[in-house]
Amino acid sequence: MGNGFHLRPVGALLLTLATVGFIQCQVLAREARQRLIQDERTELAGDAVGVATAYSTTVQGQPPLNAVNRYLRALAARPGVGEVSLVARSRYVVGAPTVLGLGSRDSDPRVVEALETGRQMAGEARGGEDGDFIFATPVDLPAGRHALVVRQGRDVLEDPVAELRRNFILLLLGGLTLAVPAFYLLGGRSLARLHRAALDRATRDGLTDLGNHGAFLEELERAMSLSRRHGEDLTLAIIDIDDFRFENDRHGQAHGDKLLRGVADSLRDGRSEDRSYRLGDDEFAVLLPRAGEEGARRALQRTAAEVRSLQSVGVSIGLSVLRPETVDAESLRDQADAALFEAKRRGGDTAVSFGEIEDSSRVVTVEKVRAVRRLLENGDIDAAYQPIVDQAAGEVLGYEGLARLSAEYGLAGPGEAFDVAAAIGRSAELDEACRRSILEGAGLLPDGALLFLNVAPQSLDRGHMSSDSLVRLVEASGLAPERVVLEVTERFAGDLDRVVAEATTLRALGFKLALDDVGAGNSGLEMLRDLKVDFVKVDRGVVWRAIEGTSARAVLASITTFARQTGAYVIAEGIETDEMLEMVHDAHGVQGFLLGRPGELPPSTSETGAKKVSAGAPLRAVTH
């Protein structure tokens, strides 16, 4: 009985140590696997830079992809690397170590997401060998965004982890057998400390040592709960470094990393109770408990001044304050993102709160933001085409492609969808999705008819639209750039010089340009002065007002005269009555319900001399 008494605590100790050892073995194995994946991601991010460099340093007279394929062959020769490919935005493989790998389509969800979001993705490959692992790293080339795709066998990740498990189990068994007390007093405590340190590293950003995105999401929920429980203020700030990509590209990755660490240090120097996180790339978040909008703004302006002084860069800040009606953490984040976008729109290096833009914005609600995100994810956009008639010839000049959304999304048409997308920084994605949908059906255009295609000024202002990719997209639809008219609205408050420069580049590639909504904003004449356009589209509101008063008729006449002086073809929009048609008799072309409603293009066309046409029965096309 005495011996049993002594064995029971020993047995309990052994069982406890064995259980703890098993758990820690699993945790360490998982962390080792994650570190292997992260190391591979880091290495492939460098390889993506190598691909871009190979593309840009190709020998004159050789296709750029020849140099890329040589680089991919070297990459494929590394130990543990399986399949290697370079996938274009169209999902087709355009680069591979051998010609046998070219031309296939890669629709793995991680490849698609890397192409669409510009973020590196990793996970189990779909449709590959059992256990294959895939890494998809975005690569920005002059021809548009591509993805460097590497597939590895399961053993590349699992064998080192299995070896770690074996070594750990042997160590544990040896320790239990030879020195249970010593293992418990020294080894057990040491492993526990290492485990706690590993868990801490799992929630920290490796570069800046701030909390990472996962830690931010967890702490945001907790902070909101505490704030509501104690009736205290809570402000969330989302911070973005202005022109970080330019700094990184100009001075190199080492400079960019130094810049990120410097901003992180400045955020740590803020109020002692504030908590800072790096969300990814150059985006940071700060939770400011017991701080309202003004207190948070003062604290962050001091931080921004320190960043400006020490790092010589500005930061844009979006603030959102927790309110009783705030639904959840995602809503608070969406509001901060909307405020950040407005700060960027104002030129950066400033702080904007959601409260400043809430009254003037009908777009940033949780439901509408989620609806736009779902719309972009599904790509559920239809196209309609409205004829534009040449008045002198009585024939169809071309068709304007218009996006149409399903009522299930609860959005009041494409206009509101674009307002919401702009507020969350995704207008370029929506703009591209609409263009793709319209161009998919443009093959049914009558011979010689023009396609009028809207382009959001933000896509030109922010450089989101690649001219080369647009040319390829248009040509894939069966059209030449000369038959496509890119419509840019004058209702725009961004960098006008940048928009003019980008539009001029597109015109040099063969596209025609139209200035849309002239008369609705304040920059129409300025854009007409600085930008050579082929068409001027007079806003519907100008025509309506011209019917009602002489001063408005003078405005209409001045727009028409000015446009004619520049050699532009004038089109009056929104023509719905004979009276409106008579009012715009000086315009070259007309568009509106009186001439034809938007609809699908027919499989064949017929000639007619009628004045009123529809998309289903177009007049004979004329070439401008």
How much is the average pLDDT of 147-167?
A: 75
Q: What is the pLDDT of residue 133?
A: 82
Q: Which residue has the higher pLDDT, 251 or 5?
A: 251
Give 141-162 as a 3 state SS string.
ECCEEEEEEEEECHHHHHHHHH
Q: What is the pLDDT of residue 281?
A: 83
Residue appearing with tokens 């130094």: 258
Strand partners, 139: 146
Share above pLDDT 70 across residues of the chain, in percent, rounded to a whole number: 79
Tokens of 179: 């020195």
Q: Do residues 221 and 229 lie in contact, with contact meaning Cβ atoms separated by under 8 Å?
A: no
Question: At residue 237, does pLDDT exceed 90?
Answer: yes
The continuous run of DSSP H or E covering 192 comes out as helix 189-202
Instruction: Measure the CA dihedral 135/139/144/146, to 10°.
Output: -20
Share above pLDDT 90 across residues of the chain, in percent, rounded to a whole number: 22
Q: What is the pLDDT of residue 186?
A: 53
Q: State how far the Cα of 423 lies from the Cα of 414, in Å rounded to an integer.
A: 14
Q: Which residue has the higher pLDDT, 13 or 158?
A: 158
Q: What is the pLDDT of residue 274?
A: 93
Q: State how far the Cα of 62 lies from the Cα of 52, in Å rounded to an integer.
A: 16
Sign of the Cα pseudo-torsion (23, 26, 29, 30, in order): negative
Confidence of residue 566 (pLDDT cuts 50, 70, 90): confident
Out of 1-5, 172-176, 200-204, 295-299, pick the least confident: 1-5
Mean pLDDT of the chain: 80
Q: What is the pLDDT of residue 367?
A: 74
> What angle, rounded to 10 degrees, do the helices at 413-423 and 329-345 form?
90
Q: State how far the Cα of 44 lies from the Cα of 78, in Å rounded to an integer.
A: 12
Q: State how far the Cα of 294 lies from the Cα of 256, in Å rounded to an integer.
A: 31
Question: At residue 4, does pLDDT exceed 50?
Answer: no
The number of helices, as runs of H, and strands, as runs of E, in the chain is: 22, 18
CATH superfamily for domain 383-400+446-590:
EAL domain (3.20.20.450)
Q: Given the DSSP bridges, would you call strands 484-489 and 450-454 parallel, antiparallel or unpaired?
A: parallel
Q: What is the pLDDT of residue 492?
A: 55
Q: Do residues 432 and 462 lie in contact, with contact meaning Cβ atoms separated by under 8 Å?
A: no
Q: What is the pLDDT of residue 146?
A: 92
How much is the average pLDDT of 159-169?
A: 71
Q: Which residue has the higher pLDDT, 245 or 592?
A: 592
Q: Do residues 606 and 423 lie in contact, with contact meaning Cβ atoms separated by under 8 Å?
A: no
Question: At residue 12, does pLDDT exceed 60?
Answer: no
Q: What is the pLDDT of residue 175?
A: 59
pLDDT of 38-70, one tens digit each?
878 888 888 888 888 888 876 666 677 888 888
DSSP output for 563-623:
HHHTTPEEEE----SHHHHHHTTTSSEE-STTT---BPPPSS------S--BTTBPPPB--
Question: At residue 446, does pLDDT exceed 60?
Answer: yes
In CATH, the architecture of 213-361 is 2-Layer Sandwich (3.30)
Contacts of 85 (CB under 8 A, 6+ apart): 72, 93, 95, 96, 101, 106, 148, 149
Question: At residue 617, does pLDDT exceed 50?
Answer: no
Instruction: Parse the chain into domains and list their residue ranges.
Output: 213-361, 383-400+446-590
Sign of the Cα pseudo-torsion (41, 43, 46, 50, in order): negative
Q: State how far the Cα of 35 lies from the Cα of 157, in Å rounded to an integer.
A: 10
Q: What angle do CA 527, 453, 406 make, to 5 degrees?
A: 125
Q: Do residues 429 and 116 lie in contact, with contact meaning Cβ atoms separated by under 8 Å?
A: yes
pLDDT of 17-32, one tens digit each?
667 667 766 777 677 7
Q: State how far the Cα of 36 lies from the Cα of 156, in Å rounded to an integer.
A: 9
Q: What is the pLDDT of residue 458?
A: 65
Strand partners, 383: 403
Q: Give whole-number Cα distances, 183 to 9, 12, 171, 199, 407, in Å.
A: 15, 15, 10, 22, 66
Strand partners, 320: 236
Out of 78-92, 104-118, 355-369, 586-600, pick the least confident: 355-369
What is the maximum alpha-carbon separation in the chain? Answer: 114
Out of 48-57, 119-128, 266-275, 530-539, pick the least confident: 119-128
Q: What is the pLDDT of residue 399?
A: 94
Q: Which residue has the higher pLDDT, 149 or 443?
A: 149
Tokens of 454: 């809207």
Amino acid 310 reads L
Question: At residue 485, does pLDDT exceed 90?
Answer: yes
Residue appearing with tokens 């015109």: 507
Select from 354, 335, 229, 205 the least CA-distant residue to 289.
229
Q: What is the pLDDT of residue 463?
A: 55
CB atoms within 10 A of CB 296: 26
Q: State how far the Cα of 316 lies from the Cα of 239, in Å rounded to an integer.
A: 6
pLDDT of 487-520, one tens digit each?
887 655 456 677 788 888 888 889 999 988 887 6
Tokens of 149: 């795709």
Contacts of 216 (CB under 8 A, 6+ apart): 277, 279, 285, 287
The continuous run of DSSP H or E covering 485 comes out as strand 484-489
Contacts of 122 (CB under 8 A, 6+ apart): 37, 40, 41, 110, 133, 134, 135, 136
Out of 265-269, 504-508, 616-620, pick the least confident: 616-620
Tokens of 459: 């896509």
Q: What is the pLDDT of residue 2?
A: 41
Q: Give whole-number Cα distances, 483 to 434, 448, 474, 501, 587, in Å.
A: 18, 7, 9, 21, 21
